[in-house]
A and B are shown apart, each in its own frame.
Chain A
Amino acid sequence: MRTGLARFARNRLALAGAAVLLGLVALVALTPLLYPGDPFRLVGPALQPPGGPFLLGTDTLGRDVGAEIAYGARTSLIIGLSATGAAILFGTLIGGLAGYYRGSVEVALMRITEFFQTIPAFVLAILIVAILSPSLFSEVVAIVAVSWPGIARLVRGEFVALGSREFVLACDGLGAGDARIVFRHMLPNCTAAIIAVGTLLIGTAILIEAGLAFLGLGDPNVMSWGLIISSGRAVLRSAWWICTFPGLAILLTVLAINLVGDGLNEVLNPRLRER
Chain B
Amino acid sequence: MSDAVLEIEKLTITLPPGADRPNAVSDLDLVQRPGAVTCLIGESGSGKSMVARAILGLLPGPRVRVSGGRILFEGADLAAITPRQMRRVRGARIAMIFQEPMTALNPLHTIGRQIDEVLRIHTTLGHADRRTRILALLQSVHLPDPAQLLRSYPHQLSGGQRQRAMIAMARAVNPRLLIADEPTTALDVTTQAQILHLIRDLQREHGTSVLFITHDFGVVADIADTVAVLQKGVLVEQGPAASVLRAPKHAYTRALIAAVPKLAPPPRRAVSTAPLVVEAKRVEKTYGARGLFGGRVTRALDGVDVTLRRGETLGVVGESGSGKSTLARAITRLMPVDGGEILLAGHSVADLSRRQMRPHRRRVQMVFQDPYGSLDPRQRVVDIVAEGPIIHGTEPGIARVQACEMLALVGLDPAGAQRFPHEFSGGQRQRIGIARALAMKPEILVADEPVSALDVSVQAQVLALLADIKARLHLSMLFVTHDLRVALQVCDRIAVMRAGQVVEVAPTSEIFYAPKHPYTKALFAAVPGAQWQEPIPA
- Do residues B374 and A170 form an inter-chain contact, with CB atoms below 8 A? yes
Complex: A181 Cα to B332 Cα, angstroms:
18
**Does A131 belong to the interface (CB within 8 Å)?**
no
Q: Inside 8 A of A173's CB, which chain B residues have their CB?
A: 332, 334, 361, 365-366
Cα(A13)–Cα(B507), bound, Å: 67
CB neighbours of B357 from chain A (8 A): 175
A-B contact count (CB 8 A): 62
Interface centre among B354, B361, B376, B440 (most CB of A within 10 A): B376
Per DSSP, are chain B's interface residues mostly helix, strand or loop, or mixed? loop
Residue of A nearest to B374 (CB): A166
Chain B residues with CB under 8 Å of A166's CB are 368-370, 373-374
The prevalent SS among residues of A at the interface is helix
Q: How far is the CA of A173 from the CA of B375 in the complex (A)?
A: 13
Write the nearest CB–CB distance from B112 to chain A, whole angstroms.
33
A175 to B353: give the CA distance in the assembly, Å.
12
Contact with A along B294-313 (1 / 0, CB 8 A): 00000000000000000000
A170-200 vs B, CB cutoff 8 Å, 1 = contact: the mask equals 1111111100100011001100000000000
B376 touches A185 (CB 8 A): yes
Tell me the complex Cα distance, A166–B447, Å: 13
Q: Is A175's CB under 8 angstroms from B378's CB?
A: no
Docked CA distance A232–B334 (Å): 65
Given known A166-B368, A169-B334, contact A174–B361 (CB-CB < 8 A): yes
Q: In the complex, what's the smallest C-beta–C-beta distance from A116 to chain B, in angstroms?
A: 27
**Using Cβ atoms and an 8 Å threshold, which residues of chain B touch A185?**
376, 378-379
B375: chain A residues at CB < 8 Å are 167, 170
> Is A165's beta carbon under 8 Å from chain B?
yes
Nearest CB in chain B: distance from A151 CB, A: 20
**Which of B144-152, B386-394, B477-485 interfaces with chain A?**
B386-394
Contact A176 B391 (CB under 8 A): yes
Is the beta-carbon distance between B387 and A165 smaller than 8 angstroms? no
Query: Please, how many angstroms separate the alpha-carbon atoms of A189 and B354 in the complex?
Result: 23
Question: CA A171 – CA B378 in complex, angstroms?
Answer: 14
Quick one: CB contact mask for A4-36 with B, threshold 8 Å, 1 for yes? Answer: 000000000000000000000000000000000
Q: Which residues of A contact B361 (CB under 8 A)?
A: 173-175
Question: Cβ of B373 and Cβ of A167 under 8 Å apart?
Answer: yes
Measured in the bound complex, the distance between the Cα atoms of B332 and A167 in whole Å is: 15
Q: Enumerate chain B residues within 8 angstroms of A165, measured Cβ to Cβ.
A: 373
A167 to B365, CA, bound (A): 13
Bound CA–CA A76/B391 (angstroms): 45
Given contacts A166-B374, A173-B365, A176-B391, 15 further A-B contacts (CB under 8 A): A166-B368, A166-B373, A167-B374, A167-B376, A170-B374, A172-B334, A173-B332, A173-B334, A173-B366, A175-B358, A175-B388, A175-B391, A185-B378, A188-B378, A189-B377
Chain A interfacial positions (CB closer than 8 Å to B): 165-167, 169-177, 180, 184-185, 188-189
Contact sample, A vs B, 5 pairs, CB 8 Å cutoff: A165-B373, A173-B334, A176-B391, A188-B376, A189-B378
